[in-house]
Structure formats: structure tokens, C-alpha cells
Amino acid sequence: MDKVAHISVNKMRHKFIPIILFLTISNLLSAEKALTNSSTDSLMIYDKNKMAFAQSLGVDIGTWAYNNYIADEPWAKISIQSLKNNIAHGWVIDEDEFDVNQFGHPYQGALAYTSARAQGLSFWQSTPYPILSSFVWEIGMETEYPSINDMITTPMSGITYGEISHRLSLLILGSNPTIANEIAAFIVNPSLGLNRLIRRKNRYPLEKLTANNFTAGISLGSGSFLLDRQSLLFPREFARFHIFYGNPFDKKSLTKPFDYFTFVGVINFGMKEFIGEIYSSGLLKRLNHINSSNYSQLLGIFKNYDFMNHDDFKVSSSSIGLGVIQNFDFQNHFSLYNEISTSAIIMGSAGDTSDENVYQRDYYYGPGVSGKIILMLKKQNLGNVYIRLKRYYIYNLENLSNSVYENVNLVKSGFQINVGSTLAFGGEFTAAMRQSIGNVSLNNFQRESIFRLYFIYNFKSQV
């Protein structure tokens, strides 16, 4: 690593390690006490935690082994000396590529988290494992100095992505999975798939979830990108998957974290940035409900993971905050759905620097705040029109004293028209705008426009 930014090296090193170890040990002990008193599973809590511990560390070992023996990466040539160097040097902000840090590390954290979920541990009982896995990786599995941004992003985003993939894999498996179901569930959730492949299928997953309503869809289409009103790139094929899991207005069904969540993922074809977009949000805790004949409302705490990487424009965030969801029913089968939320970004990233002499990477890290507004007008059996505004303020962790931050705005508007019971035709326009505030040496303003047309196959639960 050529250039790193230090963050109070000695202070942070001595304070951060005991905090992580304390949180990990205390959560494991509390999990053991809780499940020893109430569990009726065939495996006792000690065995569950032992398997979760081994498999979460196995994620680190497997990732390291691939990079060391197959990819032959120089940073994977670890030793006792590299471990000593990492501990002695302390925490830095790393220089890795955007998709590695903002998608690869959350995915690695999700693997550690779902390894614990597969053993029957609950949402909260599984959260220490991606923290532990990330800590072990940063300290001992690389010759590069431990990265504070990865230490935060890996478990924070990994827990969100992991819980969603865990529940999706159970939906795919169903009660009588076929070989096709097993393969699809394995792709979505490799941790559970490996347990089912190696050990007895009827024991994994050990936690049985109650059936939840969901609506989902798979979209295929193409569109164009317009960068700074200059270069028109056409066509760009893409595939998108979305799911709305659970009923936000059914108070009785919202008893556990992520009993309601939304997820949208977009992959691009023929582009360097294969993973284009991820927007995910799960209900951590329900705070208030209102239900009447024509009005419903949910107020709660939500955990979010966002990722967008299109050509030169990129933003991502791990955040937690308050959100309200409302639905108004009108005459003639019309309804108005809306969401309003604001969140604290624990760690985010954004930007595109054109001056390579300033930084090796082309984005910044930092905390911040975000907000979201969604308005959707729906007509039963016909379709919908919608507008979605997402705004991010992400401060530059390396330049906090000068109040340098990224102001990123994503505005999406679109429509869907039903052409059958399961098929629909849709279109969407996205205006993405970024402004770097407080740093005149960088490109101060960027704009990207995205036009898409697509066909969508919709499917719903039978619950």
C-alpha cells in the first residue's frame, strides 16, 4: 500500500482491540444464557456457537487461501512478522478499489454472519461473528495494515446483506426443495448451502422462520447512460431483482428484526462495474403502528446498506435511522404509498477524483447522514408510477477539520404497466448528481443520467 492515512494510531490501537474482544465475548455469553434456557433444538447453544465460531473464521481462512495459493496476491503472503507489523503500526484508511471495499467486504461479512444464522442463532446472537471475522482478517490475514473503514463496513453492511440473503435462501428452499431450489439457495446463501451439502439437510437451517408474505420481481432490459451531458452510452443491458418481504402494516407479524425488508439489486452486462446498484433496508424495531379503514402507518428503526457504482459515479453507505411508511387507500382502487426516512451513516463513501496525484483511489470515506423519500401512486391491476429521492451527505474522514464532504443526490422516477397477471412493462429515469464541497482541487460537480426500459416478471407468496 503506497499511501495511507493514520487515525490516532497508538490511541485507537489500544482502545479498539479490547472493545471488539469485549463485545464479542459478552455477546457470546449472553447468547449462551438465552438459548440454554429456552432452546429445544437438537444442538445445544455451546455447539451452535462453536460451529458459528469455526465457520466464521473459516470464511477468513478460505478467502486468504484462495488469494495466497490461487490468485498469488502479494498481500496474502502473511507471517508472524506481518502480524507483529500490523499490531505495531495501527489502523489506517486503505486504498483498495471501490467495489472491493464497498461490496466485497460486505459480502465477506455476510458469509460470516450467515454461518452463524445457519446454526440456528438469532439475528442479535449472530452479529458478533462478522465483527470477529473482520477483526481477525484486518489484524492477521493481510500484510497490509489493518483498515478502520473495512473494520466498520464489513460487519455493518454484512449483517444487513447477510440477514436478507438468509431469509431469501429459506424462501427459495421452501418445504420440499428440488435440486434447482438447492442450487439457487446455495448461490444466494453459500454458508447455508455448504452446511446442507456437507451435513444433514434436515438439520440446516436449525432456525425455522414463520412464513412471510412477499412480492418480488425479476427485470430484464436495456438503457443508456449520459455522463455530464456529453457522452451517450447505449445500449447497456441490465438485470434487476427486487423483493418486498413481509407486511409493514401487520403489527402481529413484526416480532423480529427484518420481518420486513426491501431489497433491490442491479447487475450490468458489458460494463466493468458488473454490480451496479444495491438498495437494502430492514426493519430493526417497530416503534408505532396506526391502522384504520383507509390509512396505515409504520414508524420504526431501519438498518440500511446502499451501493451504486456506474462508470465514474459511485456512492455507498451503511446507516441506521428512523423511518415512516404510510399507505392511503382511495376510491376506484387507487392508493398512495410513501416512505420518509433519515439515517446516520456510520461509514459511507462517495466521489470521483480526476486528479490521481491527490489520491490513489477515486473516492472518500467518512460518516454522515442520509435521507429518503418515496412516493408511489398505484392502481389495482393496472400498475404504478413513482418517484424516489435519496440524498447522502458523506464527510471526508481524512479532512474532517476542513468540513470537506460529498453531497450526492439520486432521483428516480418511473412507471410499471401490467400486461398480465405476472408480466409488466416498465421504464425508469435516474438523475444522479454529486458535488464535492470544501475541496476546490476536485471536480466540483458531476451529473449522470440513466434511462431504462424493461420487462418484469412478478411473483408473490401463497401465504
- List the grid coordinates of 455: 420487462
Q: What are phi and psi of 198, to 5 degrees?
A: -85, -40
Quote the cell numbers at residue 312: 465514474
Residue in 229, 169, 223, 232 with CA at minimum distance from that of residue 201:
169
What single DSSP character describes residue 249?
A: T
The 10 Å Cβ neighbour count of residue 40 is 5
Cβ atoms < 10 Å from Cβ of 335: 16
Highest mean predicted confidence (pLDDT) among 63-77, 219-233, 438-452? 63-77
Cell numbers describing residue 341: 426516512
Q: What is the pLDDT of residue 448?
A: 81
- Nearest of 184, 250, 193, 189 to residue 218 by alpha carbon: 184
pLDDT digits (tens, 9 = 90+) for 148-207: 999 999 999 999 999 999 999 998 888 788 899 889 999 999 999 888 888 766 666 766
Q: What are the structural domains, with CATH classification, of the chain?
A: 5-203 (no CATH), 214-460 (2.40.160.40)
Residue 286 to residues 93, 117, 282: CA-CA distances in angstroms?
Answer: 35, 22, 11
Task: Calculate the average pLDDT of the chain.
Answer: 83
Q: Is the pLDDT of residue 288 over 80?
A: yes
Question: What percent of the chain stands above pLDDT 90?
Answer: 55
pLDDT band (50, 70, 90) for residue 442: low
The whole-number pLDDT of residue 20 equals 40
Judge whether 372 and 393 are in contact, CB under 8 Å: no
Tracing cell 434436515 back to the chain, one arrives at 202
The CA distances from residue 183 to 51, 56, 165, 368, in Å, are 23, 22, 14, 39
Can you give the pTM of this predicted structure?
0.86
Q: Are 139 and 131 in contact (CB under 8 A)?
A: no
Most confident of the ranges 118-132, 187-201, 307-321: 118-132
Q: pLDDT band for position 427 (50/70/90)?
A: very high
Percent composition of the chain: helix, strand, coil (DSSP 3-state, to 5)? 35, 40, 25
Mean pLDDT value of segment 74-93: 91
CB–CB of 304/323 below 8 Å? no
- Taking CA atoms, 287 is separated from 296, 321, 322, 323, in Å, by 14, 12, 9, 10
